[in-house]
Chain A
Amino acid sequence: QVRLEESGGDVVRPGESLKLSCKASGFDFSSYGIHWVRQAPGKGLEWAAYVRKDGNFQNYGDSVRGRFTISRDNSRNTVYLEMNGLRVADTAMYYCTSGLMDVWGRGTTVIVSP
């Protein structure tokens, strides 16, 4: 069964750091790029970051560039999102999704609160 499963969400203070994980199963993980997409409460979807299948190319949305780092470990079938300098505005459900966005995880919740 093709599956993505996020973990690592938590409640943190502004300025703190957090690292999310996205574990894949049921498909050839190393053949696909992976995105992180987030959704603030009651809001639309926002693309945050992308990592190419080989891990050698990354790109970021304007609101997270310079603070977030996406990486992957193909030996562990896992993509990571390291988030530094967190802001209240980063509060959201964070989803990982396949390169074509046809497979989504269930999300992990990040709350940034003073």
Chain B
Amino acid sequence: QSALTQPASVSGSPGQSISISCSGSSSDIGAYDAVSWFQQQPGEAPKLIIYKVTNRSPGIPARFSGSKSGNTASLSISGLQPEDEANYHCSSHAGNSTVFGGGTKVTVL
């Protein structure tokens, strides 16, 4: 049950596009179309924003999108907004378990 690998931080100016990578293995991301992304504001519980690699949760703006290639998944935010500043976590099904990434802090400059 090795953790997934995410960059510690990503930043961008309002209106720009950013991407967050989530690197796993052939036992998790590469084996299942079961990658999720969560947004977590300080002091709050995580919020599911993307599930099953590409599906947005209800109410999530279309500027958020997910993708996967091989053992790596990505979350893209286009037209970055100030309210997008938060921590973002990826997760993947991994057989009879779930693994998370270490989280990425997104800063809007």
Q: Which residues on A are within 8 Å of B, measured CB to CB?
A: 35, 37, 43-47, 50, 59, 61-62, 95, 97, 100-102, 104-107
Contacts and interface: CB of A to CB of B under 8 A. Distances in A.
Interface of B: 1, 3, 6, 36, 38, 44-48, 51, 57, 89, 91, 96-103
Given A45-B103, A47-B91, A102 B97 contact: no
B51 A45 contact: no
A13 B77 CA distance: 43
A3 B89 CA distance: 22
Given A61-B1, A95-B45, A95-B46, A44 B101 contact: yes
A106 B45 contact: yes
Of A44, A46, A59, A105, chain B has the most CB atoms within 10 Å of the CB of A44
Given A47-B91, A62-B1, A105-B45, A100 B100 contact: no
Nearest to A106: B45
